[in-house]
């Protein structure tokens, strides 16, 4: 039965009430929780939290994908507190910044991670508890029932790194997260018999939504902390996975290995965000998962998700970002503040109820990104001015041009890094590519290209292919091969690290 696209937000913890009691909800290493177990455990954890902190307090978690990290988003919401998930790949200095900036009063983490912290990392007002000791305390409590919190109250702060400065916390309401779950579950056409493999970090909005949208549909989540890509293949075969979400670098790895039929036979949908899919990668995904629908998506943490491309259009419009997801309004605003004409480049502006509440404790950066919606907006209110340059064609489909702050300015030309990267991958000689601008006294910036070869690397052959595909001003001055490209904690290619190395 199709899900209803209900625009009425609810307290986030009500997601625990969506599934059928005996159906599986969460597959952990040692046990499986059904939906009745999920309700009970969320209620017990929420009851325990009310004895440790006050309404509105921030509760941080720094752990792998175990029971506590999966249930804390709903338990904190039920207790009226604010969840602050910390990526388990972060190191102590980054964790110390998040604890201090958020004002967290409690940190729950694995004992090994907590042991890496030194004096001064944890603020005096913040208590610390090892995840291994948590449930013995929690299970002594009677479950707290569903809340009646105002959906506009704060439910979470997700810390995201920018191109400069320390990580900033994006403040999300119950309504932001509830409607995000409703929207994604609806356009993905999810059902109660779906099984989602959670490979992305739960501190990442895209990763956390794997839980929320699946539970909205009444389905089951299998969290996975994988070491190598083949672990993902094994998990898909073992659990009959129907939904797999990833970012492009992981898709590249997954398509470079063999998949047995028992690992692909149940797959219904593949979802991508965190970077564009290239045409060669789409073809590779088609070969590996011939019956699965592919959903390319675009999003930013400040507004969760903005667009998706209908799977029926992926082959005919492979480079498109698609159209707005439910509950999102996407406008393309020209440099003079007017709505851009069809085919004209402008800034992507996202309005509507998915827009976050701003950056935590940072009015200056909030004012830079969160501004009144354009006059043409149907929703009005505050909007996220993304800084991303896009264009909308006459059929309504959107196309990514590049980030304003990532565009390469060389000899008076504005160059989209993605255009150079796509041309490199299209040659078939490289599996991954990142183009950056490096300071040059004559050009302003010179184009430099980092690549991961797709076989025997032939720089001369690659240069000839690029010369045939791109104008002279886009040709890379430097091409540097990497056996493995550096990645950030969310699995995306680390452009900042590569830019620093190429500039050295």
Res 278: pLDDT: 85
pLDDT tens-digit series, residues 142-159: 999 999 999 999 999 999
Confidence of residue 165 (pLDDT cuts 50, 70, 90): low
Give the integer Cα–Cα distance in Å for 256 and 396.
34
Of 248 and 26, more confident = 26
Token pair in block for residue 340: 């851009």
Of the candidate ranges 241-250, 262-271, 286-295, 466-475, the one whose mean pLDDT is the lowest: 466-475
Please report which residue ranges of 164-247 form alpha helices under DSSP H: 174-187, 205-216, 229-239
Please name each of the domains of the chain with its CATH number. Answer: 12-225 (3.40.50.980), 408-503 (3.30.300.30)
Confidence of residue 491 (pLDDT cuts 50, 70, 90): confident
Length of the chain: 504
Give the integer Cα–Cα distance in Å for 380 and 9.
18
Confidence of residue 163 (pLDDT cuts 50, 70, 90): very low
Please report which residue ranges of 188-239 form alpha helices under DSSP H: 205-216, 229-239
pLDDT tens-digit series, residues 275-303: 788 888 999 999 999 999 999 999 989 99
Nearest to 271 by CA among 250, 240, 256: 250
% of the chain surpassing 70 pLDDT: 98
| CA distances in angstroms from 301 to 30, 41, 160, 298, listed in the order given | 32, 28, 8, 10
**How many CB atoms within 10 Å of residue 37?**
16
């Amino acid at each position: 039965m199709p899900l209803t696209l209900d625009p009425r937000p609810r307290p986030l913890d009500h997601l625990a009430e969506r599934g059928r009691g005996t159906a599986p909800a969460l597959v952990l290493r040692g046990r499986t929780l059904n939906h009745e177990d999920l309700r009970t455990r969320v209620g017990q954890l929420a009851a325990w939290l009310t004895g440790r902190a006050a309404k509105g307090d921030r509760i941080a978690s720094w752990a792998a994908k175990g029971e506590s990290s999966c249930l804390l988003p709903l338990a904190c919401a039920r207790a009226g507190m604010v969840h602050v998930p910390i990526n388990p790949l972060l190191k102590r200095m980054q964790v110390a910044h998040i604890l201090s900036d958020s004002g967290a009063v409690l940190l729950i983490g694995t004992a090994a991670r907590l042991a890496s912290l030194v004096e001064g990392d944890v603020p005096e007002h913040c208590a610390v508890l090892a995840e291994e000791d948590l449930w013995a305390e929690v299970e002594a409590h009677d479950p707290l029932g569903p809340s009646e919190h105002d959906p506009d109250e704060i439910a979470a702060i997700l810390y995201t790194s920018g191109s400069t400065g320390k990580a900033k916390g994006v403040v999300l309401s119950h309504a932001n997260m509830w409607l995000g779950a409703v929207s994604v579950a609806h356009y993905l056409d999810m059902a109660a018999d779906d099984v989602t493999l959670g490979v992305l970090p739960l501190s990442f909005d895209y990763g956390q939504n794997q839980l929320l949208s699946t539970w909205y549909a009444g389905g089951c989540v299998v969290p996975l902390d994988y070491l190598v890509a083949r672990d993902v293949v094994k998990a898909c075969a073992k659990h009959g996975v129907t939904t797999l979400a990833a970012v492009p670098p992981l898709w590249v790895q997954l398509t470079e290995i063999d998949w047995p039929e028992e690992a692909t036979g149940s797959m219904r949908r593949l979802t991508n965000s965190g970077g564009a899919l290239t045409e060669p990668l789409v073809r590779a995904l088609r070969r590996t998962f011939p019956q699965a629908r592919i959903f390319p998506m675009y999003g930013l943490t400040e507004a969760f998700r903005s667009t998706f491309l209908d799977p029926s259009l992926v082959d005919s419009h492979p480079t498109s970002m698609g159209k707005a997801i439910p509950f999102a309004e996407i406008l393309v605003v020209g440099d003079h503040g007017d709505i851009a004409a069809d085919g004209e480049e402008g800034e992507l502006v996202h309005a509507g109820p998915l827009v976050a509440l701003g950056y935590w404790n940072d009015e200056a950066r909030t004012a830079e990104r969160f501004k009144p919606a354009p006059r043409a907006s149907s929703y009005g209110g505050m909007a996220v001015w993304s800084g991303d340059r896009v264009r909308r064609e006459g059929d309504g489909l959107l196309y990514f041009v590049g980030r304003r702050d990532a565009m390469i300015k060389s000899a008076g030309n504005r160059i989209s890094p993605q255009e150079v990267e796509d041309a490199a991958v299209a040659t078939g000689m490289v599996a991954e590519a990142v183009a950056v601008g490096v300071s040059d006294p004559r050009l302003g910036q010179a184009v430099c290209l980092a690549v991961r070869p797709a076989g025997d690397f032939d720089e001369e052959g690659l240069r000839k292919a690029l010369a045939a595909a791109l104008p002279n001003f886009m040709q890379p001055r430097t091409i540097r091969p990497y056996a493995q490209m550096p990645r950030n904690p969310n699995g995306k290619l680390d452009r900042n690290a590569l830019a620093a190395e190429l500039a050295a």
